[in-house]
Copies of this chain bind each other. A is one copy, B any other.
Amino acid sequence: MIHDDFLAHDAADPLRTMRARFALPDGLVYLNGNSLGALPTATPERMQAVVTREWGEGLIRSWNSHDWIGAAKRVGAKIAPLIGARADEVLVADSTSVNLYKLLVAGLKAQGGRNVILSEPGNFPTDLYVAEGAAWSVGDAELRTVPADQIVAAIDERVAVVMLTHVHYKTGRMLDMAAITAAAQANGALVLWDLSHSVGGVPVDLNGCNADLAVGCGYKYLNGGPGAPAFLYVAGRHQAALQSPLSGWMGHAAPFAFDDDYRPAGDIGRFQCGTPSILGLAALESGVDVFGPVDFTALVAKSRALGDACIALVEARCEGLELVSPRAAGSRGSHVSFRHPSAYGIAQALIAEQVIVDFRAPDVIRLGFAPLYNSFGDLWRAVEVLAAIMAERRYDDPAYRVRNAVT
């Protein structure tokens, strides 16, 4: 493995022109697109148009004239092909946490007699916290956690919803969506997949897996901006039977009739709640639009090749870092993680050298690969800096004591 090999990879990369669609600062190696995606070059202009023309000049009229009212479904329909869903099965709304809550309570209520949400310990915290809150809300329900490899065996007649994150936020481990979905359904449970670390980075085929429910994040690989609205997926066959606890006016069958009684929309729109964030939707739409011309097979191949090369290069050049991600690319998301007792200091030392990675408590660093804009050259540079930090034990520098609050 020499530098020339990496440059050759970049020269042959079918996605190499996509980098120019992002406004990344010169000299920065940004391996954190799995936490906050980069800014698409088209987005600032789009935001200015929404702010000055649509809001400033169109004012209230833009709900119709610029189809603000249709944005939640329109952007959902654009995300659908990235996750193997039908256009009318995906909606953009609220945050991932709020959408999790909607679908968990809907699932608990629909699965009369079953009152357990089953998940794994160490799932992304908000998923577990929201499940606790959902169980507490409906009462006489509980969150149960078992290690991922025991999930299928733990699906008994009390389990209403199995809630799992497809690609683990910390380790990058990717679960077998088709197999777990089939096993859960055979035992009468619904499965709710969190696609936050999947969408835009790995292949997802919800319809092909006969999936029930899913949610996902807009600000990671979808490049929708900080705190972008999230999305939710409800399989067409479930839409009429599942009711959102967050029955706000935008989920009503006729929001502008101003009826006193709630009557949910007949379609995915029933999972809307309040007035949607038009600024957030505009930025997310701009981020999703970047995927329009992209060959997804090439994107997935590049994600896997970057991960494989990362593991090989780190193991060859850096002492003391323990791989915590799966070695097999097919079982891994688009990020690779290593464990080290001084992980926090290592991450800070990398950031000080303009290599942006993520620390995840207590002892993990994550290198995220966004195939649209990360290159093999980025990876080479990152590992070169990492190797020097490890060799020089720079992570012990007392400057790296303060804890960073990143999402």
Contact = CB atoms under 8 A, between A and B. Distances in A.
Contact of A276 (B52, B227, B252): B227
Residue from the set A28, A121, A129, A406 with the largest chain B CB neighbour count within 10 Å: A129
Interface stretch (A11-19, A32-40, A319-327): A32-40
Interface in A219-236: 219, 225-230
Complex copy number for this chain? 2
Contact of A280 (B219, B249, B250, B280): B280
A246 interface: yes
A296 interface: no
Interface of A: 23, 25, 28, 30, 32, 35-36, 38-39, 43-44, 47-48, 51-52, 54-57, 59-64, 68-69, 94-98, 101, 105, 109, 121-123, 125-126, 128-130, 132-134, 136-139, 145, 170, 219, 225-230, 243-252, 255-262, 273-281, 283, 351, 356, 358, 360-361, 403-407
Given A132-B247, A226-B62, A405-B256, A283 B275 contact: no
Contact of A59 (B32, B109, B122): B32
Contacts of A405: 63-64, 69, 255-256
B30 A59 contact: yes
Contacts of A252: 125, 129
B128 A260 contact: yes
Nearest to A106: B137
Given A51-B283, A125-B249, A68 B258 contact: no
Contacts of A52: 23, 39, 44
A97 B273 contact: yes
Given A64-B405, A406-B63, A56 B39 contact: yes
A128 B277 contact: no
19 contacts: A23-B56, A36-B60, A61-B356, A63-B226, A95-B273, A95-B274, A95-B275, A97-B249, A97-B274, A97-B275, A126-B248, A126-B250, A129-B247, A129-B251, A129-B262, A139-B139, A227-B278, A227-B280, A279-B279
